[in-house]
């Protein structure tokens, strides 16, 4: 069987209405065999069958095309209706009723919406039937039009699903490639930053120290970008952000250090913090520090330049909550659902550094901890990112 015919059979069998159509055809006509057939210039193949006769034909079964009346219907573009073949002047000596031992027969062409011929909706029985003087023909023609529309719908759906699968495979390969490249960039970047640090420490030279410091800063920045790419790939490829969970007695000090580092880099900005006692939290302190750093960097970058940024961290009733506030223009409501997607950035005319992965990685760290990262933004409170995590 050709692949195209196999695909047509699969398409017909995905149309849920087909069994009901065949059942209605047999009930209306009194005939005990009904089928949807794919007919080409060379083949007749059953796609769906309702056989109460024991005719012996199953989906995928083929008949000799020239032995069928569907061949004539395809060429004439007209239905064929026979009430009683033995008494019909056109068909009483025809080879087809004799080959298949039927008296009553009906075949309705199925035309695709583009005008091409697909096949037929047909029925037969060894007993005569009153077909011509009834609504059977118009009903079956309506079924044929319905099948034509459904065939197109199913094929379009299959094309869309195939394209989606291919796109997912391409995306996964792309992300695997990114992960491999990120992994392979680590070693040379580590060598660059280590060499720069050694030059500054062991071989200081005022004329070149500024240049070496610049190399070190660029190397550290590139290393951070690589780590972001690696975290992105882990999140997208399904393994998630890796964690090392343990009791963290000094999480408050770690958070204070993150805030101090960013304050020193952005000395013109005001960062207020309220870090409560955080003893006994079970977490990956390094990853939570990364989450806070990403949220703070985002707040400083996109908040009002003259407005303060506030950080609060506390445990209340067994729930750890970390909030980062910034003042400024609210984020439009339609952008909020997309903020934690990769490469998402607020709309702005100002060129922005980085890869746009900070909030995505923060959300993945939250998920890996079994927590939730949310955002709210309005004119009253500004923008608030909230990470919450229940403690066992």
Question: Is the pLDDT at 178 greater than 80, yes or no?
Answer: no
Is residue 241 domain-resident? Answer: no
Is residue 362 domain-resident? Answer: yes
- What pTM was computed for the model? 0.50
Both 74 and 109 in one domain: the answer is yes
Question: Is the pLDDT at 354 greater than 60, yes or no?
Answer: no
In the structure, what pLDDT confidence band is assigned to residue 351 with cuts at 50, 70 and 90?
very low
Both 295 and 368 in one domain: the answer is yes
Question: Is the pLDDT at 235 greater than 90, yes or no?
Answer: no
DSSP state of 333: T
**Looking at residue 110, what is its pLDDT?**
95
Domain of 383: which CATH number?
3.30.565.10
Question: Is the pLDDT at 313 greater than 90, yes or no?
Answer: yes
Both 137 and 171 in one domain: the answer is no
Domain of 31: which CATH number?
3.30.450.40
Is residue 181 domain-resident? Answer: yes
Residue whose token pair is 């200081």: 204
End-to-end CA distance of the chain: 60
**239-262 mean pLDDT:** 87
Both 287 and 154 in one domain: the answer is no
User: pLDDT tens across 8-60, in order?
Assistant: 999 999 999 999 999 999 999 999 999 999 999 899 999 999 999 999 899 99
**What's the structural domain count of the chain?**
3
Domain of 184: which CATH number?
1.10.287
Of 207, 236, 265, the residue at which a domain comes to its end is 236
Both 7 and 94 in one domain: the answer is yes
Both 203 and 251 in one domain: the answer is no
CB-based contacts of 336, cutoff 8 Å, min separation 6: 375, 377
Question: Is the pLDDT at 103 greater than 90, yes or no?
Answer: yes
Structural domain boundaries, residue 92:
3-158
Q: CA-CA distance, 243 to 389, in Å (whole number)?
A: 15
DSSP state of 331: P
**233-260 mean pLDDT:** 82
| Selection from 174, 228, 222, 185 nearest residue 342 by Cα | 228
Both 191 and 228 in one domain: the answer is yes
Of 236, 268, 290, the residue at which a domain comes to its end is 236
Is residue 328 domain-resident? Answer: yes
Q: CA-CA distance, 339 to 321, in Å (whole number)?
A: 20
**Looking at residue 91, what is its pLDDT?**
94
Asked if 296 contacts 271 with a C-beta cutoff of 8 angstroms, the reply is: yes
Helix/strand/coil percentages in the chain, nearest 5: 50, 20, 30
Of 158, 175, 203, the residue at which a domain comes to its end is 158
Is residue 355 domain-resident? Answer: yes
Question: Is the pLDDT at 349 greater than 50, yes or no?
Answer: no
Both 120 and 181 in one domain: the answer is no
**279-295 mean pLDDT:** 90
Both 272 and 338 in one domain: the answer is yes
Question: Is the pLDDT at 120 greater than 50, yes or no?
Answer: yes
Both 7 and 144 in one domain: the answer is yes
**Cα torsion angle, 149, 20, 140, 50, sign:** positive
**102-115 mean pLDDT:** 94
Please give the mean pLDDT across all residues of the chain: 87
> pLDDT over 70 for what percent of the chain?
91
**96-121 mean pLDDT:** 94
Question: Is the pLDDT at 378 greater than 50, yes or no?
Answer: yes
Is residue 11 domain-resident? Answer: yes
Is residue 252 domain-resident? Answer: yes
- Chain-centroid distance of CA 71 in Å reads 43
Q: CA-CA distance, 97 to 375, in Å (whole number)?
A: 74
Asked if 362 contacts 291 with a C-beta cutoff of 8 angstroms, the reply is: yes
**185-198 mean pLDDT:** 82
Q: CA-CA distance, 326 to 300, in Å (whole number)?
A: 8
Q: What is the DSSP string of 250-303?
A: THHHHHHHHHHHHHHHTTTS-EEEEE---TTEEE-HHHHHHHHHHHHHHHHHHS
Both 297 and 150 in one domain: the answer is no
**Looking at residue 346, what is its pLDDT?**
54
Asked if 8 contacts 52 with a C-beta cutoff of 8 angstroms, the reply is: no
**Looking at residue 96, what is its pLDDT?**
93
Both 123 and 185 in one domain: the answer is no
Is residue 341 domain-resident? Answer: yes
């Amino acid at each position: 069987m050709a692949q195209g015919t196999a695909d047509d059979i699969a398409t017909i069998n995905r149309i849920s209405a087909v069994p009901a159509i065949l059942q209605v055809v047999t009930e209306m006509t009194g005939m005990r065999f009904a089928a949807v057939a794919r007919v080409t210039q060379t083949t007749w193949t059953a796609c769906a069958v309702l056989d109460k006769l024991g005719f012996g034909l199953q989906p995928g079964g083929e008949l000799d095309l020239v032995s069928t009346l569907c061949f004539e219907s395809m060429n004439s573009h007209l239905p064929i209706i026979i009430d009683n073949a033995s008494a019909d002047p056109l068909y009483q000596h025809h080879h087809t009723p004799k080959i298949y031992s039927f008296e009553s027969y009906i075949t309705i062409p199925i035309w695709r919406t583009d005008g091409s011929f697909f096949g037929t909706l047909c029925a037969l029985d060894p007993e005569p039937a009153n077909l011509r003087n009834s609504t059977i023909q118009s009903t079956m023609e309506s079924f044929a039009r319905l099948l034509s529309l459904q065939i197109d719908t199913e094929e379009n759906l299959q094309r869309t699903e195939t394209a989606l699968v291919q796109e997912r495979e391409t995306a996964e390969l792309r992300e695997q490639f990114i992960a491999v490249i990120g992994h392979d960039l680590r070693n040379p970047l580590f060598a660059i930053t280590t060499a720069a640090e050694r030059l500054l420490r062991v071989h200081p030279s005022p004329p070149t120290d500024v240049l070496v410091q610049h190399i070190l800063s660029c190397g550290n920045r590139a290393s951070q970008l690589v780590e972001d790419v690696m975290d992105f790939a882990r999140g997208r490829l399904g393994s998630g952000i890796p964690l090392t969970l343990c009791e963290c007695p000094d999480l408050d000090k770690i958070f204070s250090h993150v805030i101090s580092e960013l304050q020193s880099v952005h000395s013109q900005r005001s960062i207020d913090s309220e870090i409560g006692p955080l003893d006994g939290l079970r977490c990956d302190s390094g990853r939570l520090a990364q989450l806070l750093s990403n949220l703070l960097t985002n707040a400083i970058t996109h908040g009002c330049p003259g407005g303060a940024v506030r950080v609060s961290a506390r445990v209340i009733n067994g729930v750890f909550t970390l909030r980062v506030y910034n003042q400024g223009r609210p984020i439009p409501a339609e952008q909020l659902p997309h903020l934690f997607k990769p490469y998402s950035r607020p709309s702005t005319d100002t060129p922005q550094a980085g890869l746009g992965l900070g909030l995505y990685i923060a959300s993945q760290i939250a998920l890996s901890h079994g927590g939730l990262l949310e955002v709210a933004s309005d004119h009253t409170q500004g923008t608030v990112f909230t990470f919450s995590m229940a403690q066992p």
